[in-house]
């Protein structure tokens, strides 16, 4: 029999326990990334803005009326924007994982005596390390 055809039999209650551990892991990671996002936002508010003022506006005696319309640009520092984007991406990922494992936990607890055959990918979903 080929490895990709192997099946591993588990009770639904055992899978519910594994799902509970994964749920807690993703809830912890979500909380960590939420805190990190707040730190980045605080840093953006305190020192993350860059103001690029048109050189012509520094000497008002040489300023044309149109210079005031395109004069100053305010941007968030690129490194902080990247940090914030990463936080939001991680929060989205962990929210999805929390929803998935919460749903599996409910289904498996409702059918705790059933035996289920897992393939390699299924096993990794419930018992795999990482994420």
Half-sphere exposure at residue 62, Cβ-oriented, CA atoms within 13 angstroms: 6
| pTM confidence score | 0.79
For 48, phi then psi, to 5°, come to -100, 0
Condensed to tens digits (0 to 9), the pLDDT of residues 54-70 reads 655 555 555 555 555 56
Distance (Å, rounded) from C-alpha 121 to C-alpha 125?
A: 6
Condensed to tens digits (0 to 9), the pLDDT of residues 76-109 reads 889 999 999 999 999 999 999 999 999 999 999 9
Predicted pLDDT at 1:
72
Give me the residue spans of the domains in the chain.
9-49+78-127
């Amino acid at each position: 029999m080929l490895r990709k055809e192997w099946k591993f039999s588990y009770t639904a209650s055992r899978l519910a326990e594994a799902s509970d551990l994964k749920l807690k892991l993703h809830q912890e990671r979500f909380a960590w990334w939420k805190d990190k996002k707040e730190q980045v936002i605080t840093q953006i508010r305190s020192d993350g803005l860059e103001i690029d003022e048109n050189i012509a506006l520094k000497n008002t005696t040489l300023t044309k009326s149109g210079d005031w319309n395109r004069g100053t640009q305010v941007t968030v520092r690129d490194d902080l924007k990247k940090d914030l984007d990463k936080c939001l991406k991680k929060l989205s990922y962990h929210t999805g994982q929390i929803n998935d494992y919460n749903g599996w936990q409910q289904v498996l607890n409702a059918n705790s005596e059933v035996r289920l055959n897992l393939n390699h990918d299924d096993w990794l979903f419930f018992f795999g390390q990482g994420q």
